[in-house]
Amino acid sequence: MRVHEVKTSTLKLVYEEGGPKNGRPLMLVHGWPDSPRTFDKLLPALHGAGYRTVVPYLRGYGATEFRSPLLGRKPRRTGQAVALAQDVLDLADALKWKTFDFVGHDWGARVGYTLAALHPKRLNRMVTLSVAFQPGSLKAPKLSQSEAYWYQWFLCTKPGEAAFRVDPLAFCKRQWHTWGPEGWFSEQELAAAAQCWTNKDFVDVVLHYYRVRWGHAEADPQYAVQQARYDATVTLDVPTLLVHGMEDYCVLPETTDGAGRHFTNGYRRLLLEGVGHFPQREQPGPVTDAILQHLLEPNA
C-alpha cells in the first residue's frame, strides 16, 4: 500500500492507496476502535478484481492531523459523523473521483450513510458493516442495546471522560475483548490497530463523537447545514449491502431488523453466524465475496 496525504481546509489527511492506478475507485473507511489495518485481508481480492482502493486514517487516528487555521486558533476536535463524511468527500475531491464505491465499518458505516444522504450521486454502491441506518431523532434504544452501549454512556459522564483520558488504549482494548466470540483476534492485530490510537487528538475526537451523539456536547456550527439536511433524511437511494455478525455484542443484530424499509434503490442484509462486531477481520473471505458480489452487480 502506498501512503499519501492531502490537505483539506481542516486536516492533513493521510491515506493508503493500492490496486491498479486506473482501477475502479473504492473508498474503505474504518471504525472505532480500529484503523485502516481492518481491511488488510480484503485488499488482495479487491485489487485482483480491478479496484483502486483508498483507505483514509480518520481524524484523530494515525498520522492524520488537524491544521492550524489563521490567527493560530485551535480548530474544534469535532467527531460528528457529518464532519467525518466531509473529510472523506474532501479526499474524494482531491483524488478527482466524481463517483466511487464505498465500504465502511462502524464509524465508517455512519460516514457512508451520511454521504448517501447528502451526496447520493457521488456513491455508486455501498457496503456497510455492523451498523444500520437509523433516520430521525435519536432515541434511547431497548434495554438490551442500552446495556451493550455502556461505553457510550460512560464517556458521556465527567468521571468517564476523566478515566478515558487517563488510559484510552486500555478502554479501547476492552471493546475488542468483549464485542465478539472469544479468541477472534491475535494480540499482534490488536497492537497494530492500537498504534493509531496514540494520535494527540484521538481522545477529543472520540469523546465528541459519542457525547454529541447523545446531546452531551455542542454540535459544531461549521457543519450545521449538513447536519440539518442529514437529520431530515428519511430514505437513502444508494444500493446497499449491510453485513452484520450474529454474535456482535456491541451493536446487537436485532438493531438491523427491518432496516431495508429506509432504502429505495436496493438493499440486502447478510447475517454471519459466529461473527462479532468486526466481520471484515473475523471472516474476511465471505465478507470479501459478499462485497464483490454487491459492488459488481449492475444497477437497475
Q: DSSP character for 25? A: E
Query: pLDDT tens for residues 55-107?
Result: 999 999 999 999 976 545 667 899 999 999 999 999 999 999 999 999 999 99
This prediction has a pTM of 0.96
**Cα 214–Cα 78–Cα 232 angle in degrees, nearest 5:** 55
Mean residue pLDDT across the chain: 96
Closest to 81 in 3D by CA, of 120, 28, 118, 130: 118
Residue 84: partners with Cβ closer than 8 Å, 6 or more residues away: 29, 58, 59, 107, 110, 111, 114
- The predicted structure's pLDDT at residue 73: 61
% residues pLDDT > 70 (the chain): 98
pLDDT (average), residues 134-140? 85
CATH no. for 2-295:
3.40.50.1820
Query: pLDDT tens for residues 194-252?
Result: 999 999 999 999 999 999 999 999 999 999 999 999 999 999 999 999 999 999 999 99
Residue ranges in 119-250 assigned as alpha helix (H)? 143-148, 150-155, 158-166, 168-178, 187-194, 202-213, 224-231
Query: pLDDT tens for residues 5-59?
Result: 999 999 999 999 999 999 999 999 999 999 999 999 999 999 999 999 999 999 9
Angle between helices 158-166 and 168-178 (to 10 degrees): 100
Q: Is the per-residue pLDDT at 300 higher than 60?
A: no
> Parallel, antiparallel, or unpaired: how do β-strands 240-245 and 123-129 relate?
parallel
Q: Is the per-residue pLDDT at 1 higher than 90?
A: no
Domain boundaries, the chain: 2-295
Q: Rounded to whole angstroms, how far apart are CA atoms 40 and 105?
A: 13
Q: Is the per-residue pLDDT at 156 higher than 90?
A: yes
- The predicted structure's pLDDT at residue 161: 97
Q: Are 128 and 104 in contact (CB under 8 A)?
A: yes
Q: Rounded to whole angstroms, how far apart are CA atoms 69 and 59?
A: 16
Residue that is written with C-alpha cell 472505532 in the block: 32
